[in-house]
Amino acid sequence: MQLTQYSDYALRTLIYLAIATESATITEIAEQYNISRNHLVKVVHNLGKLGYVTTIRGRNGGLRLAHPPETINIGDVVRRTEPNFTIVECFDRESNRCIISPSCRLKGVLNEAFRAFTDVLDQYTLADMTANGDELRKFLGIATVPTRR
């Protein structure tokens, strides 16, 4: 199973926003991950439509999470950003041309594996993915906020 680049960029964007000390820009995120800004614009637009991020207008504008990281489920993000989960042809009834499909047991096994995959993703939130925020910030060059005493 392989996720599309689109879902990968969506997850990376959410991770970045979860550990950012302030709002972030698309350009900043694209540069830090060394990914296409144009592609990221489309991803961020969709994340906004899905309600995961909000945009901030103005001089200090940018993006931020629309919800706390502990409420953003990784399985939900993947299901909502992947275009389809047609792992093999027989998963799509309209385009299925496999002649053994009516009695094939492989379809059931692959479906079970897919359910296990999504069940694992459903156990985690964005907060789980960013529990090592200080380490992630170092890799991404995000300044940390000094702790107050």
Q: What was the pLDDT predicted at 87?
A: 80
Pair of tokens at residue 132: 């090592």
Q: What was the pLDDT predicted at 148?
A: 43
Tracing tokens 């926003």 back to the chain, one arrives at 17
Q: Which fold has domain 5-140?
A: Arc Repressor Mutant, subunit A (1.10.10)
Q: What was the pLDDT predicted at 149?
A: 43
Q: For residue range 71-100, what is the model confidence (pLDDT) as tens digits?
A: 999 999 999 999 888 888 888 888 889 888
Pair of tokens at residue 112: 């079970």
- Domain residue limits, the chain: 5-140
Q: What was the pLDDT predicted at 10?
A: 98
- Res 48 pLDDT > 80: yes
Q: What was the pLDDT predicted at 94?
A: 87
- Res 52 pLDDT > 80: yes
Element housing 116 (H / E): helix 106-121
Q: What was the pLDDT predicted at 22?
A: 84
